[in-house]
């Protein structure tokens, strides 16, 4: 795929396969340390996904492809029925890690089709094809980011101040990013005065990861507490908002990191545009509306503290839904690699 933004390159490559080993940049350690996980068996892979060492919907899709490869390469399955049985177990374990990001399941379905086609042709052939499919998923998501930037950037020619939520850059996608890729392209083309970076409670993907990526690329930015958004917008300091997505239903309702809905409501209240940028691998057209999207609930300790430090009273309980659903009517447009869906709530989405 050719786009006008081939010159934009991401700050780092967070995932790669080399000689039978999956290398993952451990995002739990950023921005203080760049630590690489070397993964050769399934249990550490599952742990890396659950604990957010690797995260972000498109990157979870890429990781799921390589995770299947890790699980199959590290097994001693030989016969067709052993290969099929091992794949089933690997698929179930990966599917049980994080329920909301559609890309993870999209990749597992792709890998399953490879098993259907090649399991009868022996272990070597199947492993070769599975690794090829994982690499193809990876390559496609990198391309998707460039195409999203190409479709999205022209919408922002008069934009100088953008607010974003969570992390949607290379650390979440493997490419230049979805919402982040648009921001990068807009800065490259038109020059941005400021990107407001929601810190993104409770795991600080904005303050730790988005700020780190923007800093590496020299894009001007300020971190704000998530709860600042309405005040910033009311003071005329924000032209528009753009975020990524974890799963988009057929009516355009969009699940994304907790706090996205709040930001979209504030944008609607003050009459500024709210955009989503996501590849079509994030859409789940089997879900009629956002009410059908599974929302991950995570450990309450993530809300009660950070890393090993707990600041909340031991006996106070906390709730930790990792995502919320923004109704389509609050979304100005969804930018995909195939084009821009204006007013996504107006009619059902088809590709
Ligand atoms: O819990 P995370 O960090 O995996 O959540 C990530 C997000 O919510 C991102 O905004 C979303 O996956 C889009 S990534 C391009």
Task: Identify the pLDDT of residue 272.
Answer: 98
The yes-or-no answer on residue 246 being catalytic is yes
Sign of CA dihedral 165, 161, 269, 277: negative
Average pLDDT of the segment spanning 336-344 = 97
Average pLDDT of the segment spanning 149-172 = 98
| Residue 9: pLDDT band with limits 50, 70, 90 | confident
Residues 198, 246, 253, 324: which is the catalytic one?
246
Q: How far is the CA of 166 from the centre of ligand 1 (A)?
A: 6
Given a cut of 90, whether residue 164 has pLDDT beyond it is: yes
Q: How far is the CA of 169 from the centre of ligand 1 (A)?
A: 10
Pocket of ligand 1 (CB under 6 A): 52, 55-58, 101, 166, 168, 172-173, 178, 205, 243-246, 256-257, 322
pLDDT per residue over 200-256, tens digit each? 999 999 999 999 999 999 999 999 999 999 999 999 999 999 999 999 999 999 999
Given a cut of 80, whether residue 127 has pLDDT beyond it is: yes
Q: How far is the CA of 88 from the centre of ligand 1 (A)?
A: 26
Given a cut of 90, whether residue 1 has pLDDT beyond it is: no
- The SS3 call for residue 177 is coil
Distances (CA, A) of 73 to 77, 106, 158, 269: 9, 21, 50, 52
pLDDT per residue over 26-54, tens digit each? 999 999 999 999 999 999 999 999 999 99
Given a cut of 70, whether residue 306 has pLDDT beyond it is: yes
Instruction: List the beta strands (DSSP E) in the chain.
Output: 15-18, 21-25, 36-39, 161-164, 194-198, 221-224, 240-243, 247-249, 254-257, 274-277, 283-284, 305-306, 309-310, 323-326, 333-336, 339-342
Task: Identify the pLDDT of residue 4.
Answer: 66
Task: Identify the pLDDT of residue 197.
Answer: 98
Task: Identify the pLDDT of residue 273.
Answer: 98
* Nearest atom in ligand 1 to 323's CA: 8
pTM beyond cutoff 0.85? yes
């Amino acid at each position: 795929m050719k786009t006008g933004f081939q010159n934009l390159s991401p700050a780092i490559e967070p995932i790669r396969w080399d000689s039978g080993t999956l290398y993952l940049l451990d995002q739990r350690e950023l921005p203080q340390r760049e630590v690489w996980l070397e993964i050769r068996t399934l249990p550490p892979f599952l742990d890396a996904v659950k604990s957010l060492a690797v995260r972000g919907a498109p990157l979870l899709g890429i990781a799921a492809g390589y995770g299947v490869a890790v699980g199959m390469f590290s097994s001693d399955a030989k016969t067709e029925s052993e290969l099929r049985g091992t794949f089933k177990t690997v698929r179930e374990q990966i599917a049980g890690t994080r329920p909301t990001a559609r890309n993870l399941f999209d990749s597992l379905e792709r890998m399953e089709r490879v098993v259907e086609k090649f399991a009868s042709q022996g272990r070597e052939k199947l492993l070769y094809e599975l690794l090829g499919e994982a690499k193809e998923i990876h390559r496609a998501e990198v391309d998707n980011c460039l195409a999203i930037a190409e479709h999205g950037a022209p919408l922002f020619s008069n934009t100088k101040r953008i607010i974003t939520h969570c992390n949607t850059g290379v650390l979440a996608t493997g490419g230049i990013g979805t919402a982040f890729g648009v921001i990068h392209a807009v800065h490259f083309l038109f020059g941005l005065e400021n990107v407001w970076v929601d810190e993104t409670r409770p795991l600080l993907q904005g303050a730790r990861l988005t700020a780190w990526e923007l800093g590496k690329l020299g894009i001007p930015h300020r971190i704000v507490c998530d709860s600042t958004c309405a005040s910033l917008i009311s003071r005329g300091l924000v032209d528009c908002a753009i975020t990524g997505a974890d799963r988009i239903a057929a009516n355009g309702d969009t699940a994304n990191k907790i706090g996205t809905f709040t930001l979209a409501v504030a944008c609607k209240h003050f009459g500024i545009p709210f955009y989503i940028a996501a590849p079509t691998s994030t859409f789940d057209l089997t879900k009629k509306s956002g009410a059908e999207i599974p929302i991950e609930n995570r450990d309450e300790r993530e809300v009660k503290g950070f890393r090993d430090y707990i600041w909340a009273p031991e006996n106070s309980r906390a709730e930790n839904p990792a995502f919320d659903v923004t109704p389509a009517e609050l979304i100005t447009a969804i930018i995909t690699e195939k084009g821009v869906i204006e007013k996504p709530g107006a009619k059902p989405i088809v590709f």
